[in-house]
Chains A and B, each alone.
Chain A
Amino acid sequence: MKNILLAIIIVATFASGCKKVLDIQPLNMIAETAVFKDKKLIEAYLLNLYTDTRFQETSGQANFNMGMIAGVGGEARPFGDWQDPYQASVKNYDATGASYLDYWAYANIRRVNEFIEGMETSSFDATFKNQKIAEARFLRAFTYFSMVKRYGGIPLIVKVQKDTDPKEELFPARNTEMELYDFIGKEMDEVALVLPKIYGAADDGRASKYAALALKSRAMLFAGSIAQFGTVQQNGVMGIPAGEANRYYTAAMEASKVIMDGGTFQLYNKFPSDPVKNFSQLFIDENNNPEVIFAEKWDAAQNKGHSWDNLATPAGFSSSWNSNFNVLLDFADLFDYQNGTSGALDRSLMNGVARWSVDSIFGKRDPRFRASVYYPETTWQGDKVYFHSRTYYTDPATNTRKNSTNETFVIPGSISADYPTGWKAKGPNRNTIRTGLYVRKRVNESLLPAAYGQSSTDFIIFRYAEILLNYAEAAFQLNKTAEALDAINLVRARAKMPARTSLTQDNIRQERQVELAFEEHRYWDLRRWRIAEQVLNNTRFKELNYEYDFDTKKYILKLTNAEGAARIFLPRHYYLPLGIGQLADNPNLVENVGY
């Protein structure tokens, strides 16, 4: 044994002297020099940049963070208090950092910069190079937009830094908020000249000219309202001078107008006679959907699925998790009735005495409500969604009034054409615990079972209705009311809501919140309008609990707090904190005011 060991040592000693044998290259690594000489590798690198870009929140355990922006925006809360979106909505963000909402994506920015510089050195034809570089610039601008809307001005880095660069570049101070928005606007103007208007089926999903203009439209609208409603602080690191508002609003209108005049997109309207179905299908239909300007694609069959349906589906259907996105009553109030009257429910009547038919509270609302929210007796997958926790009824055997909270108890004599299996005294328990309204938007009724990671529905990042609303809002702020009315009424006509004949700022804001509900807009909109301290501060949003009176076929409503603690949105929260970690990391950064 000893001799064998000795032999091994001797052989190893000699072998180590011979470089070729031990100097192996890892087999799973692609050499740095190979990438920009090969179109396939270039493509693979670019797709990594797409993957990096946080188009929508999907992170967190089991995709729970898909409810993050709706949570902090006061649209819907998650089922469990322990889920990050709930924690994020009741948190008082302080000097320690932006926590759940943190997005400091300079690693992504560096990879985009590396790609762009690598492409510039490659020897492929200019058309190919410019196209790929333009896609990368779109992604970089999207990422900067995601950061500037959180923090205000941040260091704008558009080249690959080397550790030998001058110190003031390596330890950059913050650019102004205006410089960031101007960068996004200018970049999108330039790449819009390069990117094609539309891709063939093989390239569907790439950033197009219109995606770039849609980003510009949104970003310029943000900049316009920050200039109009915000205050300039710290030499423009936070805030945009008020005099710039019109320039940005005009830019938002112009970018939107190019898309509107381009003829490529229109509002989805394949089911004009059924506005609820139409508005539901808008988010599901991926077959030449004319409204989709840019989407992140998903396909569970190719192992890229998400869990939206698994989380959102009400209890009583095929999802094992279910009931996760609970719509807050205060947000539901924003959806008017279809005749144009206000949908805000009178809180004083939710006293446990008054009785309401489901039609009178929800059934005659804006079709967009019915397509976006599950409410009691919403028809779903051939059955109905039930939220009631108790049923009062008259027992036909004894002719006495009784009540029951038994989930399996069928009210005697309740089997009918409407309720083929009868009326159960209580809905599935999980439906009775939280707000009594769930997010339905983007849930695919034909997905069975709604299992974990099995959703293939694409995330629409930019859609035509948003462009119309961007246009309307910018036009309204520029006193171009006629243009604003035209655009907003197109959106309302598709929803089968009565046309507006005049406009107020509240009309504009309400339309946006209703049309774009649960699509990661409201939180950012409330911030840029600088009304988040009124809407999201020192308030506990409400929820409904339902009991059913079988004799009158009406509901008894009770109003309770949907959230355990009051939300906190202080003036300082219009800009999230960079946090003490970032400040220690780079002493040239200044913290936002108030932290």
Chain B
Amino acid sequence: MSREQFMDKYASWLSDMKIRLSYGQAGNDNTSQFSYLTGYQINGGGYIIGPSINRSIQTTGLSNPLITWENITNYNAGLDLSLWNRKLTFEGNIFYRRREGILAQEQRALPSTFGATLPPVNLNTIDNRGFEAMVGYHPRVGNVKLSFTPTITVTKQKWVKRNEEDYTDPDQVRLYKLTGKSTNIENGYLSDGIFMSQAEISKLGFNQDQVGNSTLKPGDIRYVDLNGDGILDWRDQTEIGKGSFPEIVYSLIMGGSYKNFSVELLWQGASGFDFYVGGAAASMFSNESIPFDYQYQYRWKPDANDPTANSNPDAKLPASSLGLNNNNRIKSDFWLKDASFIRLRNVNISYDFNKNLLSKAGIKNVQVYLSGTNIFMINKLGIYKNTFDPDANVSGVGNNYPIHRNLSVGLRLSL
């Protein structure tokens, strides 16, 4: 566009400008074969009658002769700008992607007592919308060359149409009906800290364990009776947070050079997703595991003289228990944590020796450098922040292999 004549008057500062619009449609045929046919298939195992095992066959279920592939439609609008002789550049993109005809089994037509494996039908629609932006800023102050390149991508994915039961119960509609909702949400209970004492259990105004709170112990999680009906049951669930898919991803490259020195930093981060603390990370000693440090430090700890009283002023986590504690394992926001993080992914500092001097020695280039990867991270996991890395592990127990931190010092020599 910047090459158009009517743009000439801006040429002093507008080096380049481009508007992009695109539309595309594609099919996705990643579906099982022969879903349009019905017949029998030989099973893997068998059944023993008499002395020997015999093969068995099983119907493949009902067929859908109309099955077709799903349809993906992409809309894109973009703007590229380059200003002041590329000192400032911008690249932006807004996108909308719609996947239609996603295969699913018809849920409403027939109840489970019908018994047949219903065929996959092109039923569901998901859309993704979002934008990406990248800015480049390359100022120069005297001998110092600087560069900043931030990028950001924001995506939201939603069920536009999902074939599901005709829920009539308002709580089921609220919790289980997904049409119109984001695909990246988690339902569960709301928590309200832990019971610090038996007295707090006794004065709880509702039936949390459905057996008159007789199974609750000091150091158990307290939940919220959301609908106020006096009993904690599935109806008290609500949307407690996001799933494990980061909706916002960002990065920043910072560079600078002065004479023979140069520095480059790469920051990366993500946001808009949650981390669920589960398994042994939530249940101390589960499956004979060794407790994590934060469990030792922050658990509700029985007093040596009075096991119903707490002796840990920092108590934030449930008491340890023999065996798994069902009350504390209910899916709730107690264990769902904002997984946003930013991490210094790469650092590179280098110095190039003077080429004139070197060429006399027959050496083309000598560079000394200091570089590192995964130097540090800032996250919002609170007491879990030193134990879990939301970058490496977005769901679960936290026993996966950690991301390496690497530091290296080097000398690069070219002859």
- With both chains docked as a complex, state the minimum distance between the C-beta of B315 and any C-beta of chain A, in angstroms: 20
Tell me if A92 and B326 are in contact (CB < 8 A): yes
Which residues in chain A, 103-129, are within 8 Å of chain B measured between CB atoms?
A: 104, 106-111, 113-114
- With both chains docked as a complex, state the minimum distance between the C-beta of B282 and any C-beta of chain A, in angstroms: 12
Chain A residues whose C-beta falls within 8 Å of the C-beta of B286 in the assembled complex: 81-82
- Given known pairs A26-B34, A29-B60, A44-B56, the reply for A582 and B112 (CB within 8 Å) is yes
Q: Binary interface profile of B, 306-325, with partner A (CB < 8 Å = 1, else 0)?
A: 00000000000000011111
Chain B residues whose C-beta falls within 8 Å of the C-beta of A201 in the assembled complex: 50-51
Which of B33, B37, B323 contacts A565 (CB under 8 A)? B323
Distance of A563 Cα from B117 Cα, bound (Å):
40
Chain A residues whose C-beta falls within 8 Å of the C-beta of B55 in the assembled complex: 44, 47
Chain B residues whose C-beta falls within 8 Å of the C-beta of A91 in the assembled complex: 326
Which residues in chain A, 194-240, are within 8 Å of chain B measured between CB atoms?
A: 201-206
Chain A residues whose C-beta falls within 8 Å of the C-beta of B172 in the assembled complex: 580, 584
- With both chains docked as a complex, state the minimum distance between the C-beta of A566 and any C-beta of chain B, in angstroms: 6
Tell me if A584 and B165 are in contact (CB < 8 A): yes
Which of A29, A94, A96, A564 contacts B39 (CB under 8 A)? A29
Chain A residues whose C-beta falls within 8 Å of the C-beta of B326 in the assembled complex: 90-92, 565
Which of B50, B58, B324 contacts A82 (CB under 8 A)? B324
Which of B43, B58, B114 contacts A170 (CB under 8 A)? B114
Q: Binary interface profile of A, 7-47, with partner B (CB < 8 Å = 1, else 0)?
A: 00000000000000000011011111001000001011111
Tell me if B114 and A110 are in contact (CB < 8 A): yes
Chain A residues whose C-beta falls within 8 Å of the C-beta of B401 in the assembled complex: none
Chain B residues whose C-beta falls within 8 Å of the C-beta of A563 in the assembled complex: 323
Distance of A565 Cα from B325 Cα, bound (Å):
7
The reply to whether the CB of B399 lies closer than 8 angstroms to some CB of chain A is no
- With both chains docked as a complex, state the minimum distance between the C-beta of B129 and any C-beta of chain A, in angstroms: 30
Tell me if A298 and B48 are in contact (CB < 8 A): yes
Pick the interface stretch among A155-163, A350-358, A494-502: A155-163
Tell me if A35 and B57 are in contact (CB < 8 A): yes
Chain A residues whose C-beta falls within 8 Å of the C-beta of B50 in the assembled complex: 201-205
Tell me if A94 and B287 are in contact (CB < 8 A): no
- With both chains docked as a complex, state the minimum distance between the C-beta of A561 and any C-beta of chain B, in angstroms: 7
- With both chains docked as a complex, state the minimum distance between the C-beta of A128 and any C-beta of chain B, in angstroms: 16
Tell me if A566 and B215 are in contact (CB < 8 A): yes
Chain B residues whose C-beta falls within 8 Å of the C-beta of A257 in the assembled complex: none
Chain A residues whose C-beta falls within 8 Å of the C-beta of B47 in the assembled complex: 47-48, 50-51, 205, 297
Distance of A504 Cα from B130 Cα, bound (Å):
75
Which of A45, A565, A585 contacts B165 (CB under 8 A)? A585
- With both chains docked as a complex, state the minimum distance between the C-beta of B281 and any C-beta of chain A, in angstroms: 14
Which of A113, A170, A297 contacts B48 (CB under 8 A)? A297
Tell me if A47 and B46 are in contact (CB < 8 A): yes
Distance of A28 Cα from B55 Cα, bound (Å):
14
Distance of A86 Cα from B322 Cα, bound (Å):
13
The reply to whether the CB of A61 lies closer than 8 angstroms to some CB of chain B is no
- With both chains docked as a complex, state the minimum distance between the C-beta of B136 and any C-beta of chain A, in angstroms: 38
Chain B residues whose C-beta falls within 8 Å of the C-beta of A260 in the assembled complex: none
Chain B residues whose C-beta falls within 8 Å of the C-beta of A171 in the assembled complex: 111
Chain A residues whose C-beta falls within 8 Å of the C-beta of B117 in the assembled complex: 107
Tell me if A304 and B53 are in contact (CB < 8 A): yes
Chain A residues whose C-beta falls within 8 Å of the C-beta of B233 in the assembled complex: 94-95
Tell me if B49 and A205 are in contact (CB < 8 A): yes
Chain A residues whose C-beta falls within 8 Å of the C-beta of B23 in the assembled complex: none
Which of A87, A96, A561 contacts B322 (CB under 8 A)? A561
Tell me if B54 and A47 are in contact (CB < 8 A): yes
Tell me if B215 and A304 are in contact (CB < 8 A): no
Tell me if B116 and A51 are in contact (CB < 8 A): no
The reply to whether the CB of B38 lies closer than 8 angstroms to some CB of chain A is yes
Q: Which residue of chain A is the closest to B39 with respect to CB atoms? A: A29
Tell me if B114 and A106 are in contact (CB < 8 A): yes
- Given known pairs A26-B34, A568-B215, the reply for A155 and B113 (CB within 8 Å) is yes
Distance of A582 Cα from B209 Cα, bound (Å):
23
Chain A residues whose C-beta falls within 8 Å of the C-beta of B116 in the assembled complex: 107, 110
Tell me if A564 and B115 are in contact (CB < 8 A): no
The reply to whether the CB of A586 lies closer than 8 angstroms to some CB of chain B is yes
The reply to whether the CB of B5 lies closer than 8 angstroms to some CB of chain A is no
Which of B56, B167, B209 contacts A584 (CB under 8 A)? B167
The reply to whether the CB of A303 lies closer than 8 angstroms to some CB of chain B is yes
The reply to whether the CB of B169 lies closer than 8 angstroms to some CB of chain A is yes
Chain B residues whose C-beta falls within 8 Å of the C-beta of A298 in the assembled complex: 48
- Given known pairs A51-B56, A111-B59, A563-B323, the reply for A94 and B115 (CB within 8 Å) is no
- Given known pairs A47-B54, A51-B45, A111-B58, the reply for A94 and B38 (CB within 8 Å) is no
Tell me if A170 and B57 are in contact (CB < 8 A): no
Distance of A304 Cα from B59 Cα, bound (Å):
22
Distance of A280 Cα from B367 Cα, bound (Å):
79
Tell me if B234 and A95 are in contact (CB < 8 A): yes
Distance of A171 Cα from B286 Cα, bound (Å):
44
The reply to whether the CB of A505 lies closer than 8 angstroms to some CB of chain B is no
Tell me if A110 and B115 are in contact (CB < 8 A): yes
The reply to whether the CB of B168 lies closer than 8 angstroms to some CB of chain A is yes
Which of A29, A32, A46 contacts B34 (CB under 8 A)? A29
Distance of A299 Cα from B46 Cα, bound (Å):
11
- With both chains docked as a complex, state the minimum distance between the C-beta of A235 and any C-beta of chain B, in angstroms: 19
Tell me if A564 and B321 are in contact (CB < 8 A): yes
Q: Which residue of chain A is the closest to B215 with respect to CB atoms? A: A566
The reply to whether the CB of A587 lies closer than 8 angstroms to some CB of chain B is yes
A-B CB contact pairs (8 Å), 10 listed: A30-B39, A32-B39, A41-B57, A48-B58, A50-B49, A157-B113, A170-B110, A564-B321, A564-B323, A565-B326
Q: List 18 additional A-B contacts (Cβ < 8 Å) besides A30-B40, A44-B54, A202-B51.
A: A28-B42, A29-B39, A31-B40, A47-B55, A51-B56, A92-B326, A96-B234, A106-B115, A109-B115, A114-B59, A172-B113, A202-B49, A304-B46, A564-B322, A565-B323, A582-B111, A584-B166, A585-B165
Interface residues of A (CB under 8 A from B): 25-26, 28-32, 35, 41, 43-48, 50-51, 80-82, 86-87, 90-92, 94-96, 104, 106-111, 113-114, 155, 157, 161, 163, 170-172, 201-206, 297-299, 302-304, 538, 561, 563-566, 568, 570, 580, 582, 584-587
Interface residues of B (CB under 8 A from A): 33-34, 37-43, 45-60, 107, 109-117, 165-169, 172, 176, 209-211, 214-215, 233-234, 286-287, 321-326
